[in-house]
Structure formats: C-alpha cells, structure tokens
Amino acid sequence: MARTARIDVPLVPAVAVREAVVNAVAHRDYAITGSQIMLEVFSDRLVVKSPGPLPNTITIDSVKRGGRPRSPNESIANFLLAMQKMEKRGRGWAVMRRAMLEHNGSEPEIEEDREARFVSVTLRLRPR
C-alpha cells in the first residue's frame, strides 16, 4: 500500500501574520497605559488590534498605498528593521496583501476606531 505524504496548508500565511504583528508593535500608542496588542482568532478570520489611532497624517488609504512610513515609535521601528523583523519600511501592507491574495484570494482589511482608540488588521482564514 502506497503512503501519501501529508501536506499541511496553513489557514493564513505566516508572513502576513508576522507583518500584522510587527506593524502593531511598531505603530501602537505606548502612552495608552494598561493596553496591549491583541491577537484574536475566530472561525473565519484572525484580527490583530493595536492600541491607538493611526499616527499623524496617516490614513487608511495611505497605509494601503505604502511609501513614506511614519511611526510614533521611530526607535522601535528602526530596531525591528535592524533585527530583520521588517522587510522594508513602508512595505508591510503590500507584503500582507500579496501573501493573502496568493493564499486564498482575499485582501487584508484595516480599520481605525478612533473612539475605542485602536487600529485593527483582519486576515481572512482559508476555508477548511
């Protein structure tokens, strides 16, 4: 009897999760005491929530376009880049988008809730 090799297919690409978490660490508002980055897993999605609004003049559209990154935590962002946790500043959204499109045809979603004071990135899971 021939044995078939088991092939594990992740529900979401590791590179997309890494980018979402690294961006949450680099861009969160550390002045909001008692807050933390949250990783929530649901049956159909993974959500990374980062305390604080988007920095300065950054909008959701400008995040999606990439380009000139602005972080309230430049030292942390530069450290993550030096430690090779970031591939290149200003490219995180493009990396997540490409990985998700190749993985299951979906795009990452970003939402800013200024009232609740957080930014969330949602990655849709591959259907089982």
Q: What is the pLDDT of residues 5-55, one digit of tens each?
A: 888 878 999 999 999 999 899 888 999 988 999 999 999 999 999 999 887
Residue ranges covered by each domain of the chain? 14-124
Dihedral through CA 9, CA 19, CA 45, CA 99, nearest 10?
Answer: -50
Task: Give, for 24, the enclosing helix (H) or strand (E).
Answer: helix 14-27
Could you say which of 3.40.50.2000, 1.20.1440.120, 3.30.565.60, 3.20.20.70 is the CATH number of the domain covering 14-124? Answer: 3.30.565.60
Is 121:96 a contact under the CB 8 Å cutoff? yes
pTM for this prediction: 0.86
Question: Encoding tokens for residue 35?
Answer: 């807050």
Q: Report the pLDDT value the prediction gives residue 96, as an integer from 0 to 100.
A: 93
Report CA-CA distances (Å) from 68 to 18, 65, 108, 121. Answer: 20, 9, 20, 19
